[in-house]
Chains A and B, each alone.
Chain A
Amino acid sequence: MTEQLLKVRDLKIEGRSDETWNPIINGAGFDLKKGEVLGLIGESGAGKSTLGLAAMGFTRDGCRISGGSVEFDGIDLVNASADVKRNLLGKRIAYVAQSAAASFNPAHKLIDQHTEAAVQHNVLSRADSEADGIELYRKLRLPNPEEIGFRYPHQVSGGQLQRAMTAMAMACRPDLIIFDEPTTALDVTTQIEVLASIREIVEEFDTAAIYITHDLAVVAQMADRIKVMLKGDEVEEAETREMLSNPKEEYTKSLWAVRSFQRPQKPAVQTGSTPVVSVKNVTAAYGKVKVLHDVSFDIHSGRTVAVVGESGSGKSTAARCITGLLPPMQGHIEFDGEVLPLDYRKRNKMQLRQAQMIYQMADTALNPRKTIGELIGRPVQFYMGLTGNEKRRRVEQLLEEIELEPTQYINRLPSELSGGQKQRIGIARALAAEPKFIICDEVTSALDQLVAEGILKLLAKLQDELGLSYMFITHDLATVKSISDEVVVMKDGRVVEQGPKDEMFKPPHHAYTDLLLSSVPEMDPDWLTDLLKQRGVDNIGDAAVSNM
């Protein structure tokens, strides 16, 4: 059992851009024993995926291994010939990608893709591999294991697809599997299911694994050891429990401390005061499919209301109703007590100005061909009628408010900014209209934790300074805890529960709220084990939701 399966020594990887080779990994190394799980963690751009792929002796196009060695079971993967690698990859080393939906070939049935590797490598016959696939599906607790393999990828849900992908990686019973953020794109309740089944099957077949993620709580459940990466450098490596309880490096400590930001709950709103935005009995539909059923909630001045729910629960649709992009079938929206026209095209400039929106993907929310000055300057000019020097001064003032140096950023294009900076520009554009109310649609979910923290603090600061009201749409309960005053929980287009934050995080809950809350991974490495004991293996994730 002490046999070393994978030895990576002083690995250096370079990427090609602008005709020169720039380092991506500056010397990383680790050992992996048989049956051991190593967690690789770091922010985006830390080189964790590149390192994971290099453990298979593979680099993406435009990258090269410029030094160091990768030794898998005595075979030098850096200098191995294509034939040697072909015999290893898929058979003894397998890879599970982040997006199973994008990684399956949509034109073939799951089982056909499952058997391909085993048949190709002469491990099993097609019939045996099919039977084995069904067995694996059963082990991974996929519904209808007999039939699910004969569906096409689009006929299967995201979480199920991710498990089918894990089953596929297991098809040849490899010695090593590399999981590249397998649960990042999933809802919390689904994530749990995938985590549980991955952990179980890796233990059962004594497979070594490299688990790449940016989520500390997830890696705490999965890994025996954790390695922290930062901008291509290794920061530290230790056993999971030791790493969690006793991190040595400053950077690791800062990662651990991220979830500490929390603002105090504001006092209850005086009864009888007019809410800034009031959603009254709204029912909305796309075509004939109803997606919102009789939704009502209020947002008071200077407060943050978090709308929580899984994907498909209707929280973004509620925002579209408020902005007027999707006129509701029934019900109406009140702004400062005044009923707004349902369609945004019928609203006047003043009404449009008062409610602004910040988007999840800053990449698609900022026109890539416009400079920062133009992006923020447009609403200033459009609503306030400022031009020339006045406009420029106002833009600079806004940039200062979002803590970006004006002279340095005003002439840049969005592509020249980092993700967090882009999101700050999105905030500045919303502020430029001098609104009372801002809808934040998953504004932090595409960002690294440290950066997201900065954005949340900025939003809180702006709220205190300008008396803004926020509708904060999110699926991340940690975010809800840190920023909200009131919480609205949605499921299947209905408001399940709503109330002040402090009450919402204390029992008794509605059963669904309870499920959501208890599905958020915690740093405790025993959390998943305990939860499974408590809920029972067949009553987690989707199964638990559908049992309700």
Chain B
Amino acid sequence: MSFWVETVLLLAAMCAGGWIFRFVGRKVTNNKPFFRDMSYGVAFGYVLGAAVLVWLIWAYMLSRSSDMMVANKYFFLGKAIEGFLIFAVAAWIFRLFGRKVGTEGSRKLFRSMPLTASFGIMIILIYAILAIFAAGIAPHGQEEVFARANIVPGGDVNLGGDPAFPLGTDQIGRDILSRLIYGAQNTVGIAFVTTCLAFFVGGSLGFLAATLGGWTDQLLSRAVDVLMAIPALIFSLLLITVASAWFTGFGLTVSMVVIIAMIDSTRVYRLARAVGINIVVMDYIEAAKLRGEGLAYLVFREILPNATAPLLAEFGLRFCFVFLTISALSFLGVGIQPPLADWGTMVKDLSSFINYAVVAPQIASAPLLAAGAIALLTVAVNFVVDWMLHKSSGLKE
């Protein structure tokens, strides 16, 4: 009960605080337009934001407390705050670096870039480097099994860690750090290939439907409607099951790539058709048609260059979805197969440790490392996509 009383009191205090903040602001700045035209809601927002900030600092202090019980309670929040600050500073330095180095064009790009976008680009670059040079960077092989299983991440000997394995080992003694790095290669690489395939198929068919219209459009669109009506994850599970029985020669991974690409190409088709239909009605398409141009020229030389901005943005988002789908399928056991390292599988294999979160957060963090890798890339890609959408919307519409 006292929790509710406290909450209500706190809210009341913040309501009053908002009013006082605005009143004092007006007095101190001698009625500057910023405070003069501030509505009460905005003033309350400032106070609320300040309160949250204070709570976060307080929680971070608790996570550093010497009392293990208290520290454990705020362990993940503390790590999240640390991570946030480190990444923010890194992104800021990265952007500063980009503004000083490179061609005139790239420097200009970095100058107008928000911090979120530079964070996204930095993370994507890091992932790309890890994925490409995985064999050189990873300290151990992805299939290498060591004597000690279940070493706790963190490298602290007192808590069951081992400095030789900074992120610990999994349930059969494989180095988690190495597997995370190889996972970037497998998961991200396969997701990239799948997305490209989905875009090639969906994009071509979408533009084709937009340009030709009529029966072609009806046929393709209704077929896509049917495919989209079936829940994607269940549909892909079903198809993979069928494929594993029918196409034994290819291996599960290839059929998974094709199946996910087909299912995702329906979404790409929808977008490409919608964008294409807006372009097809333009006079320059009419001019090209009247000139007698063929279909391929219309689609690839007239329509495609004008659709790149929305398609590129969709590519980023679609990549995230494909990537999450692959991880989800791997988690369910039908995705990327062992012994290949994959983040989804890694979360699944160690998922039982999550129950230890309250008593021993270091142990529970083992499965969360792979989950964090997934989340980080998804957030990074989304930031970059947001930025690109914002930029392209500034030019058109």
Q: Do A and B bind each other?
A: yes
Chain A: residues with CB nearer than 8 A to chain B?
19, 81-83, 323-325, 344, 347, 349, 352, 356-357, 359, 361, 364-370, 378-379, 382-383, 429, 433
CA distance A83 to B287 in the complex (A): 52
Contacts A81-B36, A81-B37 given; does A433 touch B284 at CB 8 Å: no
CB-contact partner of B305 in A82, A83, A357, A370, under 8 A: A370
Contacts of B64 in A (CB 8 A): none
Surface stretch bound by A, among B166-174, B249-257, B288-296: B288-296
Asked whether A367 lies within 8 Å of B290 as measured between CB atoms, the reply is: no
B6 within 8 A of A: no
CB B95 to nearest CB in A, in angstroms, measures 16
Interface centre among B36, B291, B302, B305 (most CB of A within 10 A): B291
Asked whether B305 lies within 8 Å of A364 as measured between CB atoms, the reply is: no
Asked whether A82 lies within 8 Å of B292 as measured between CB atoms, the reply is: no
Q: Mark B296-317, 1 if CB is under 8 A from A, else 0.
A: 0000001001100000000000
- Nearest residue, chain B, Cβ from A382: B291
Q: Which B residues from 1 to 43 make CB contacts under 8 A with A? A: 33, 36-37
Contacts of A325 in B (CB 8 A): 286, 289-290
B112 within 8 A of A: yes
- Nearest residue, chain A, Cβ from B37: A82
Asked whether B305 lies within 8 Å of A367 as measured between CB atoms, the reply is: yes
- Nearest residue, chain A, Cβ from B306: A369
- Nearest residue, chain B, Cβ from A361: B283
- Nearest residue, chain B, Cβ from A18: B112
Contacts of B33 in A (CB 8 A): 81
Q: Which B residues from 235 to 283 make CB contacts under 8 A with A? A: 282-283
CB-contact partner of B306 in A19, A352, A368, A429, under 8 A: A368
CB B393 to nearest CB in A, in angstroms, measures 14
- Nearest residue, chain A, Cβ from B304: A369
Asked whether A352 lies within 8 Å of B291 as measured between CB atoms, the reply is: yes
15 cross-chain CB contacts under 8 A: A81-B33, A81-B36, A83-B37, A344-B290, A349-B292, A352-B291, A356-B290, A364-B282, A364-B284, A365-B282, A365-B284, A369-B306, A378-B291, A382-B293, A429-B287
CA distance A413 to B287 in the complex (A): 18
CB B372 to nearest CB in A, in angstroms, measures 36
Contacts of A429 in B (CB 8 A): 287
Contacts of A81 in B (CB 8 A): 33, 36-37
CA distance A367 to B303 in the complex (A): 9
Contacts of B111 in A (CB 8 A): 19
CA distance A359 to B33 in the complex (A): 48
- Nearest residue, chain A, Cβ from B283: A365
CB B338 to nearest CB in A, in angstroms, measures 47
- Nearest residue, chain A, Cβ from B308: A369
Say what secondary structure dominates the interface of chain B. Answer: helix
Contacts A19-B111, A364-B283, A379-B291 supplied; 19 other A-B pairs, CB < 8 Å: A81-B33, A82-B36, A83-B37, A325-B286, A325-B289, A352-B291, A352-B292, A357-B287, A357-B290, A359-B287, A361-B283, A365-B283, A365-B287, A367-B284, A367-B306, A369-B305, A382-B291, A382-B293, A433-B291
Asked whether A367 lies within 8 Å of B302 as measured between CB atoms, the reply is: yes
CB A442 to nearest CB in B, in angstroms, measures 12
CB B396 to nearest CB in A, in angstroms, measures 8
Contacts of B292 in A (CB 8 A): 347, 349, 352, 382
Contacts of B282 in A (CB 8 A): 364-365
The 10 closest A-B pairs by CB, nearest first: A369-B305, A82-B37, A365-B283, A359-B283, A367-B284, A364-B283, A352-B292, A364-B282, A81-B36, A349-B292
Contacts of B284 in A (CB 8 A): 364-367
CA distance A333 to B252 in the complex (A): 61
Contacts of B289 in A (CB 8 A): 325, 344
CA distance A380 to B306 in the complex (A): 23
Number of residues from B at the complex interface, CB < 8 A: 18
CA distance A331 to B292 in the complex (A): 23
CA distance A531 to B33 in the complex (A): 51
CA distance A219 to B234 in the complex (A): 67
Q: Which B residues from 78 to 113 make CB contacts under 8 A with A? A: 111-112
CB B349 to nearest CB in A, in angstroms, measures 48
Contacts of B290 in A (CB 8 A): 323-325, 344, 352, 356-357
CA distance A119 to B98 in the complex (A): 55
CA distance A378 to B111 in the complex (A): 37
CA distance A383 to B111 in the complex (A): 45
CB A377 to nearest CB in B, in angstroms, measures 12
CB B167 to nearest CB in A, in angstroms, measures 43
Asked whether B112 lies within 8 Å of A19 as measured between CB atoms, the reply is: yes
- Nearest residue, chain B, Cβ from A352: B292
CA distance A488 to B305 in the complex (A): 40
Contacts of A83 in B (CB 8 A): 37
CA distance A485 to B306 in the complex (A): 40
Contacts of A356 in B (CB 8 A): 290
CB A37 to nearest CB in B, in angstroms, measures 32
Contacts of A378 in B (CB 8 A): 291
Contacts of B36 in A (CB 8 A): 81-82
CB B35 to nearest CB in A, in angstroms, measures 10
- Nearest residue, chain B, Cβ from A82: B37
Contacts of A366 in B (CB 8 A): 284
CB A347 to nearest CB in B, in angstroms, measures 8
Contacts of B302 in A (CB 8 A): 367
Contacts of A383 in B (CB 8 A): 291
CB B203 to nearest CB in A, in angstroms, measures 16
Contacts of A379 in B (CB 8 A): 291
Contacts of A382 in B (CB 8 A): 291-293
CA distance A408 to B291 in the complex (A): 27
CA distance A248 to B157 in the complex (A): 92
CA distance A454 to B37 in the complex (A): 49
CB B123 to nearest CB in A, in angstroms, measures 27
Contacts of A82 in B (CB 8 A): 36-37
CB B241 to nearest CB in A, in angstroms, measures 44
CA distance A359 to B292 in the complex (A): 17
CB A155 to nearest CB in B, in angstroms, measures 25
- Nearest residue, chain B, Cβ from A362: B283
Contacts of B283 in A (CB 8 A): 359, 361, 364-365
- Nearest residue, chain B, Cβ from A430: B287
Contacts of B293 in A (CB 8 A): 382
CA distance A16 to B236 in the complex (A): 50
- Nearest residue, chain A, Cβ from B292: A352
CB B40 to nearest CB in A, in angstroms, measures 13
CB A117 to nearest CB in B, in angstroms, measures 20
CA distance A248 to B14 in the complex (A): 65
- Nearest residue, chain A, Cβ from B396: A368
- Nearest residue, chain A, Cβ from B282: A364
CB A365 to nearest CB in B, in angstroms, measures 4
Contacts of A370 in B (CB 8 A): 305
CA distance A369 to B291 in the complex (A): 18
- Nearest residue, chain B, Cβ from A368: B306
Contacts of B305 in A (CB 8 A): 367, 369-370
Interface centre among A366, A369, A383 (most CB of B within 10 A): A369
CB A16 to nearest CB in B, in angstroms, measures 12
CA distance A141 to B111 in the complex (A): 57
Interface centre among A359, A383, A433 (most CB of B within 10 A): A359
CA distance A417 to B33 in the complex (A): 39
Interface centre among B287, B289, B305 (most CB of A within 10 A): B287
CA distance A429 to B286 in the complex (A): 13
CB B371 to nearest CB in A, in angstroms, measures 40
Contacts of A361 in B (CB 8 A): 283
CA distance A496 to B370 in the complex (A): 77
CA distance A454 to B287 in the complex (A): 24
Interface centre among A324, A344, A367 (most CB of B within 10 A): A367
